[in-house]
Structures are given as C-alpha cells and as structure tokens.
Amino acid sequence: MHKEKEATIYDLAKALKLSPSTVSRGLKDHPEISKSTKKKISQMAKQMEYRSNTFASNLRKQRTHTIGVIVPRLSSYFVATVLAGMEKVANEKGYNLIISQSLESEKKEIANAKTMFNNRVDGLLVSLAFDTKDVHHFTNFIQKNIPLVFFDRVYEHRQCMSVVIDNFKNGHAVTSHLIEQGCKRITHITGNLHRNVYKERFEGYKKALHDAGLVYSNELLMVTEMNEQAGIDAGNTILKMKKMPDGIFLANDVTAANCMRVLKQNGIKIPQDIAIAGFNNDPITRVVEPNLTTVNYPGYEMGIIAATSLINHLDGVSNILTTNKIVVKSELIIRESSLRK
C-alpha cells in the first residue's frame, strides 16, 4: 500500500507566499483575515486537493470530536432507530460516532468502555447490558469530566444525564388496560430486574394489579433473556401451566410476538383466551395476527435528544448538569391482541 503525499497548510502557504498561520486562519473563516486572501486561500486549497488533518488538529486542540456509543446489541429495531437519531445529530454537528455493542455482557461492556476511554472520545452515550451490576467502569470518564449520557437502560448518577421514558407509568397503563379487558390473572414476562426499564415496568404492573384489587404472586413473574427464543420458551411454559393466565404483559415485542405464535399454534385464542400486550412498538407488532397491543417507544427521538444534549454540552451551548433526567413522551397503543370488546 502506497500513500500519496498530502498537501499541508505549509504547502498552501508556500504556493501563496503567505505564512502558515494566515492560511490556517483563512481556512477557518477567522474574522481578522481579509476577504481577498481568504478567497485566494480557499481556491488554492481546492486546487491542491488540501484536506485538513483532523489528527494534528485534535492533538493541538485536545478534542477529538468523536462520541462513543455503547449499546447492548445492534440487531434490535429499537437500538437501530436510536442510533439513526444519534447519527443524524452527530453528522450535522460535525461529530463522529464510534459504536460498539456489549452483547448484554458486563465484561464486554467494560472492555468497550476502556477502548472508548483510550480513544479519548469527547463524550459517551450508553445503554447498559443485561447483567451490568455497577458502573465502576465509567468512573474514569466521570473523574476526567468526560460527559456521560445514559439512555433507555440507565443508571442514575448525579453527574450523568439520563434519557428515558416513563416505564412505570407505561407498565401501569398496559396492565390496567388488560384488567379493563377482563383479565384476572396476568403474567408478566420480562428481563433482568436490575435494569431500570424492566424493574419499573414490573413495578407499574404490580401497582396496577394492586389498584384493581388483584393479588400479585411470584409465580406470575417470568424473568427471561427477552429474545426470540425466550418468547418461544415462554409460550411453551405457559401451555404447561396448571392454571393458565388470561392475560400476558411482555416487556418487549419480539418476545411477545414469538410467545403469541406458540400459543396460537396450540389452539389458544388471542385475545379471547389470553389477551397479550408487548412493549416498544416494533414494526413486528403490525404484521402479526392479531396485531399486538404495545407501547410506543420513540427511539429516533430519544437518539436525537441524547446526542443533542451531549453535543450542546460539549460545544458549550448548554450545561448538561442542569437537567439530568429527560423523560420522553410515550403512550399505550391498543390493538387487537388485547381488545376483547
């Protein structure tokens, strides 16, 4: 592999009989440079195919204009939409995104955080893995005042911002809706309860049962990996129950859709025998039959909000610490899988 020699501001300066500093200033529209020299400089830059060297600039300025993103996995619709929002903002504001996935493992998350740290990202956007216990691996960032924004799966920390939805309220709303439809025995299938999203949905679920005078018992709860297979397994487990539920609230749509399919294949009528609700408003909810009741989770918007907040802070436009929790609007979407009337 062979590298061509790149033109530098020195080369431009020589060609224009100017000093490198003038060229540097001219290139970045400094007010103290005359219009005419600016024009000359940018013309010559084009002619010599000059491109600014980000690394020299970063080195000098001690900034990287790079933001690290750590997500549980790339292959989920929700994550993909969040990233799309982040990418849009970053692109517009001249930042780059370095994306990595923890694959739901704390160990990998720690390694990723370290890589991000060594790459001197200017800031970090994080959604935590299933089994992350604490956030020691981010103390590096906090100590060095590198801003950290959590989204979706967050860890409340007074020096970090969070972008979330109201999981409690939505969990409550889903459950209350199932109760209104006549469900008396509602199973909740969810993920690791250390994670805020699952914990709060669960709390909302319990509160709704309580509010309606229904009794919660542990056998109504199933903690799973919340993927395709978990949905299938959950369906099979339910089929084997002595006392089957008449309603199921699953904490995500992929699991819900797969669970529903297993139940239907075994002769269960949805929603007559069992009413089902998921969470996320994944496109999958609109192709399964019956269409799945769910909660709209505005990933794209959240990505935009998280990235904008971080970048505004980095650019000195606003101070991230003034608001350290943003709750994005979300709402129940009722469809046939839970509609009995």
Partner DNA sequence: TTGTAGGCGTTATCAC
Partner DNA sequence: GTGATAACGCCTACAA
- The residues of the shown chain that bind DNA, judged by CB under 7 A, are 6, 8-10, 17-22, 24-25, 27-28, 32-34, 37, 50, 52-53, 56-57, 59-62
DSSP states of 175-218: HHHHHHTT-SSEEEEES-TTSHHHHHHHHHHHHHHHHTTPPP-G
Instruction: Identify which of 295, 301, 292, 237 has the alpha carbon closest to the alpha carbon of residue 263.
Output: 237
What span, in angstroms and rounded, lies between the C-alpha atoms of 97 and 70? 10
Among 22, 170, 175, 258, binds a second copy (CB under 8 A): 258
Interaction pattern, residues 149-178, with a second copy; x per rule: CB under 8 A: ------------------------------
The answer to the question of residue 81 lying near a second copy (CB under 8 A) is yes
Among 134, 180, 211, 289, binds a second copy (CB under 8 A): 289
Work out what residue 216 binds among a second copy, DNA, none; the CB cut-off runs from 5 to 8 Å by kind. none
Q: Which residues of 213-230 are buried (b: 16+ CB within 10 A; e: fewer)?
A: ebebeeebebebebbeeb
Work out what residue 20 binds among DNA, a second copy, none; the CB cut-off runs from 5 to 8 Å by kind. DNA
Applying CB under 8 A, the span of 75-83, 154-162, 170-178, 323-331 interacting with a second copy comes to: 75-83
Q: Write the DSSP symbol of residue 76.
A: S
Quick one: 241 or 317, whose CB is closer to a second copy? 317
Residue type, 307: A
Length of the chain, in residues: 341
**φ/ψ (deg, to 5) at 107:** -60, -45
Work out what residue 199 binds among DNA, a second copy, none; the CB cut-off runs from 5 to 8 Å by kind. none
Q: Are 190 and 226 in contact (CB under 8 A)?
A: yes
The answer to the question of residue 34 lying near a second copy (CB under 8 A) is no
CB of 336 to DNA, least distance (A): 58
Among 21, 91, 236, 266, binds a second copy (CB under 8 A): 91
Give the end-to-end CA distance of the chain in Å, rounded to a whole number: 69
Applying CB under 8 A, the span of 10-18, 152-160, 169-177, 286-294 interacting with a second copy comes to: 286-294
Residue corresponding to tokens 């890589």: 115
